[in-house]
Amino acid sequence: MKTPQIKFFSPEDNTEPVSKAAGKAKPKPSGYISDNGTLVFPKATLEEIGVEPETALFKVGTAEGKRKIKSLYLISTEEQEGAFAFARIGRGSGIALSVILKRGGIDYEAAKHVFTVTIFNYTEGVVGYELAIEIEAPKELYTGKPRGRKRKVTEEEAAA
């Protein structure tokens, strides 16, 4: 009988490879749309994406041919004409876009909207930022153990 070709395994083959990304996923930079129609960037987000709000100017746009805004694009520019600048808002900075957001179908007054920032190269040497807009998910209900003193039950509640 001829001996077959056998592939032997090592103990290292039986372990899952650990990737650095799976260990601790870093959240994407994000911000929110205020109830008066301003894109609000927290200070930490601006530092993470490398934007200086005092000097930064952006052209703001959306996907062409779409009626409803799902994402906004901020393209950095040096020209003053047709560019939006940051304004100081609380601890962060923001860009007022109330009319554009209303026309784009985002009802920022009724529900809170959040966005995540993704960096991309628009053209050679020009950096762009994509803001993916979505409605903030409601908080999960607290299902833990009730705390504090127990509530006294009245006779009417006990009968019901």
37 backbone φψ class: left, alpha, beta (φ>0; ψ -120 to 50): left
**Closest CA relative to residue 94, chosen from 30, 38, 32:** 38
Phi and psi at 107, nearest 5°, equal: -95, 80
Which ranges constitute the DSSP H helices of 30-93?
43-49
What whole-number distance in Å separates Cα of residue 77 and Cα of residue 73?
12
pLDDT of residue 155: 75
CA 71, distance to chain mean position in Å, is 11
Mean pLDDT (10-residue bins), the chain, 160 residues: 68 69 67 90 90 88 86 87 87 89 89 90 86 84 80 73
pLDDT of residue 18: 63
pLDDT of residue 16: 74
